[in-house]
Structure 1
Amino acid sequence: MEKKRYYNDNIGPIKENEVLALKKALELCNEIGDITQITLLIHTKGNTGYLERIFETRNLKDFFRGVKIDQNYPPLKIETVRTFNDDWQGKKIVVAFGLRSNELHKYDDYENVAGIIAHQWSEDSVKDWAQSWGAIDLKTETEIEKTALPDKVVQQAFIDLTNSINMTTGITHPMDEEQCKTYIRALKKYDYELNSKEIFSFLTTELNWESDNANDVIKLIDKVNSGGYFKGGAKTGLQHHIKRWKSK
Structure 2
Amino acid sequence: MSEIVRALVPLDSHSTEAFQTAFGYANAICEKTGATDIIVLTHTKQQLDHTSLSRLLGDGTVRALAKGPVTLGSGVRLHAETMRTLGWPQRKSVLVVYYAETGILDLADGTRNVAGVVAVPDVPGEADDWAKRWGVIIHGEDRKAPAPLIEDEVVVRALTTLSRMVNLSTGVGHPRDKDFANETLRILRAKGHADPTSNIRSWAIRHGWKPEHAVKLEEMSRKIWALKGKPSLASFHNPNERYDRWRRGED
* TM class, shorter-length: 0.7 to 0.9
Equivalent position of 1:57 in the other structure: 59
Q: Mapping of 1:141-180 within 5 angstroms?
A: 142-143=143-144, 146-180=147-181
SS at match of 1:170: coil
- Pick closer, same or farther for the CA change 1:67–1:233 going to 2, 3 Å: farther
Whole-angstrom distance in 2 between the partners of 1:222 and 1:20: 38
Q: Once the 2 structures are TM-superposed, how far is the Cα of residue 202 of structure 1 from its aligned partner?
A: 2.4
Identity %: 24
Give 2:85's match in structure 1, choosing from 83, 86, 89.
Answer: 83
Contact 1:6 1:136 (C-alpha < 8 Å) held by counterparts: yes
Q: Residues 126 and 54 from structure 1, CA distance in 2 versus in 1: closer, same or farther, beyond 3 angstroms? A: same
Q: Deviations over 1:204-248 (max 9, x none)?
A: 22x31111111111110111233379x998645533322121122
Contact 2:14 2:53 in 1 (8 A): no
CA gap of 1:150–1:106, structure 2 versus 1, over 3 A, is farther
Partner of 1:215: 215
Deviations 1:19-45 (A, max 9, x none): 211121112111111x22110111111
Amino acid at match of 1:155: V
Q: Give a deviation string over 1:52-73, Cα, whole Å, max 9, x none.
A: 2323437612113111131x23
**Which residue is equivalent to 2:114?**
113
- The answer to whether the Cα contact below 8 Å between 1:180 and 1:233 also exists between their aligned partners in 2 is no
State the alpha-carbon separation in 1 of the partners of residues 233 and 44 from structure 2.
41
For residues 163 and 46 of structure 1, the distance between their equivalents in structure 2, rounded to whole angstroms, comes to: 42
- Whole-angstrom CA distance in 1 between matches of 2:129 and 2:202: 9
Task: Return closer, same or farther for 1:55/1:12 CA change in 2, 3 Å cut-off.
Answer: closer
For 1:41, the aligned partner's letter is L
Matched residues, number: 243
Which amino acid in 1 is paired with 2:225? N
AA of the residue aligned to 1:60: V
Q: In the alignment, residue 57 of structure 2 is paired with which amino acid?
A: F
TM-score, with length taken from structure 1: 0.88
Q: Distance in 2 between matches of 1:85 and 1:43?
A: 14
- RMSD between aligned residues: 2.4
**Given that residues 39 and 94 in structure 2 are in contact (C-alpha distance below 8 angstroms), is that contact kept between their aligned partners in structure 1?**
yes
Check conservation: 1:149, 1:198, Cα contact below 8 A.
Answer: yes
Say if 1:42 and 1:98, in contact at 8 Å, map to a contact too: yes
| Alignment gaps of 5+ in structure 2 | none
**1:38 partnered with 2:38:** yes
SS at match of 2:173: coil
Is the contact between residue 99 and residue 120 of structure 1 (CA under 8 Å) also seen in structure 2? Answer: yes
Aligned-partner Cα distance in 2 for 1:233–1:45: 50
Structure-2 change in CA distance of 1:232 and 1:120 (3 Å): farther
Aligned 8 A contact 1:36 1:90 in 2: yes
Distance of 2:84 and 2:14 partners within structure 1: 23
Instruction: Give 3-state SS (helix, strand or coil) of 2:80's partner.
Output: strand
CA displacement at 1:188 relative to structure 2: 0.5
The aligned counterpart of 1:18 is: 19
Structure 1 unmatched runs, 5+? none
